[in-house]
C-alpha cells in the first residue's frame, strides 16, 4: 500500500506558525482579494481564503467585481492597492473573463505584494533563483516534499502540465541549485510524444492537467511518488458536487510508493501558503531576505535564531 501524503498536517504546521506571527503584528496583515465574477469554481476558492483569513487573524478585503469589468477598471483598483500602505498583499482570482488582459493585470501588481507571484518580475526571479515571493500552488508542492522529507536532489521529477500558475514555476523551483531542489525536471503537455514512457521514468510524478482519471496505473512505476495537483469538479446523477484529482487514485494507491489525496492534498496546503506569502509580504521580501526555504525550515524544523 502506498504512503498517503495528506496535506492536513503540512497545512496545520504552517497555520500554527502563522497564527502566532499574525497575532504579534501591530497592524493587521491585510490581503486585497479581487474577484471578477464569471468563473463558478472561483467562488469556492475565494470563500476558502476569506474563511482562512478569519481563522488566522489576517484581514481579507474582498473586492467583488461584475463580469463586465474592463481591464482598465481592474488596473485602477490594483494601482490603488499598490499605493495603499495598509494593503500588504494583492491577489486577483484567476481565471479572469476572456476580455480581460491577464498579462497587463499580472504585470500591474506590485511584485512585493504579489501573493501568487504572477508578476513577470517574480516569474523571472524564480527562474533565476533570486529570492522573491513564490506562487502558492507550486510552493504547496515544494512544502509537501519538504515536510515528508522526499528528496529531490538528482531525482527525476516529471510534471504533466505547463501552465504559468503551476507547471512552469514548479519546474523552475525544482531546477534551482539548492539541496531541496536540484532535480532533473521533465515538463509534459498536450503535444508531448511518448507521455507514458516518460511518466513511467519519474521518481516524482506531478499531475496538473485538470482531467479526472488522467493518470492511470500503467503510467507509473512502483517507486513513484505521485503528487496530484488537479482539482476537478464532478456532479453525480443526484446533482451532488464533489472534487477529484487527475489521478485514478484507487488504481494507483496500491502501486505507487506514495500518493497525495484529493481533496485533502495539495489544495489544503495551497490555502495555507496564501497566508505564508502574506506574512512574507508584511515583512517585506526585500528587507527580510528570508527565502521560502528559510521559512519552511523554521516552520517544519524550528530555529531559535528567528
Ligand X SMILES: NC(=O)c1ccc[n+]([C@@H]2O[C@H](COP(=O)([O-])OP(=O)(O)OC[C@H]3O[C@@H](n4cnc5c(N)ncnc54)[C@H](OP(=O)(O)O)[C@@H]3O)[C@@H](O)[C@H]2O)c1
- Comparing CB distances to ligand X, the nearer of 163 and 297 is 163
Q: Which residue has the cell 521518481?
A: 203
**Pairing status of strand 241-244 against strand 232-235:** antiparallel
- Comparing CB distances to ligand X, the nearer of 87 and 114 is 114
Residue 289 C-beta-side C-alpha neighbours within 13 Å: 1
- Comparing CB distances to ligand X, the nearer of 7 and 111 is 7
Q: Which residue has the cell 495539495?
A: 266
- Comparing CB distances to ligand X, the nearer of 95 and 284 is 95
Report in angstroms how near the CB of residue 282 gets to ligand X at its nearest: 22
Applying CB under 6 A, the residues found at the interface with ligand X are 137, 160-163, 165-167, 188-192, 195, 208-210, 229-232, 266-267, 270
Distance CA 184, CA 178 (A): 12
* Helix, coil or strand: residue 184: strand
- Comparing CB distances to ligand X, the nearer of 87 and 205 is 205
Question: DSSP E strands: which ranges in 25-175?
Answer: 30-36, 59-65, 89-92, 156-160
Distance CA 166, CA 209 (A): 10
Report in angstroms how near the CB of residue 213 gets to ligand X at its nearest: 12
89-92: strand order across its sheet: 59-65, 30-36, 89-92
Report in angstroms how near the CB of residue 303 gets to ligand X at its nearest: 27
- The closest alpha carbon to 5, from 299, 274, 269, belongs to 269
Strand partners for 34: 63, 92
Report in angstroms how near the CB of residue 264 gets to ligand X at its nearest: 11
Residue number closest to ligand X, CB atom:
163
Report in angstroms how near the CB of residue 273 gets to ligand X at its nearest: 9
Grid coordinates of 272: 495555507
Based on its alpha-carbon atoms, the radius of gyration of the chain, rounded to whole angstroms, reads 19
Report in angstroms how near the CB of residue 247 gets to ligand X at its nearest: 11
- Comparing CB distances to ligand X, the nearer of 197 and 305 is 197
Report in angstroms how near the CB of residue 178 gets to ligand X at its nearest: 23
Amino acid at each position: 500500500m502506498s504512503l498517503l501524503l495528506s496535506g492536513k498536517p503540512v497545512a496545520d504546521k504552517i497555520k500554527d506558525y502563522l497564527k502566532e506571527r499574525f497575532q504579534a503584528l501591530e497592524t493587521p496583515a491585510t490581503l486585497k482579494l479581487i474577484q471578477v465574477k464569471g468563473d463558478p469554481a472561483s467562488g469556492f476558492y475565494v470563500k476558502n481564503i476569506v474563511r482562512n483569513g478569519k481563522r488566522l487573524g489576517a484581514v481579507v478585503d474582498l473586492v467583488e467585481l461584475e463580469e463586465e469589468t474592463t481591464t482598465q477598471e481592474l488596473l485602477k483598483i490594483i494601482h490603488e492597492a499598490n499605493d495603499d500602505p495598509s494593503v500588504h498583499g494583492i491577489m486577483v482570482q484567476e481565471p479572469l473573463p476572456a476580455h480581460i488582459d491577464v498579462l497587463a493585470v499580472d504585470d500591474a501588481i506590485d511584485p512585493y505584494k504579489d501573493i501568487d507571484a504572477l508578476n513577470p518580475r517574480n516569474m523571472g526571479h524564480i527562474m533565476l533563483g533570486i529570492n522573491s515571493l513564490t506562487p502558492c500552488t507550486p510552493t504547496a508542492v515544494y512544502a509537501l516534499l519538504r515536510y515528508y522529507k522526499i528528496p529531490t536532489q538528482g531525482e527525476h521529477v516529471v510534471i504533466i502540465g505547463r501552465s504559468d500558475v503551476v507547471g512552469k514555476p514548479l519546474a523552475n523551483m525544482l531546477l534551482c541549485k539548492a539541496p531541496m531542489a536540484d532535480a532533473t525536471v521533465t515538463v509534459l503537455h498536450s503535444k508531448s510524444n511518448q507521455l507514458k514512457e516518460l511518466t513511467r521514468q519519474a521518481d516524482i510524478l506531478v499531475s496538473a492537467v485538470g482531467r479526472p482519471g488522467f493518470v492511470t496505473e500503467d503510467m507509473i512505476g512502483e517507486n513513484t511518488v505521485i503528487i496530484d495537483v488537479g482539482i476537478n469538479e464532478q456532479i453525480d446523477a443526484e446533482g451532488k458536487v464533489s472534487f477529484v484529482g487527475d489521478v485514478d487514485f484507487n488504481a494507483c494507491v496500491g502501486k505507487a510508493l506514495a500518493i497525495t489525496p484529493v481533496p485533502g492534498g495539495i489544495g489544503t496546503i495551497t490555502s495555507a501558503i496564501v497566508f505564508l506569502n502574506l506574512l512574507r509580504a508584511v515583512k517585506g521580501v526585500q528587507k527580510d531576505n528570508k527565502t521560502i526555504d528559510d521559512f519552511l525550515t523554521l516552520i517544519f524544523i524550528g530555529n531559535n535564531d528567528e
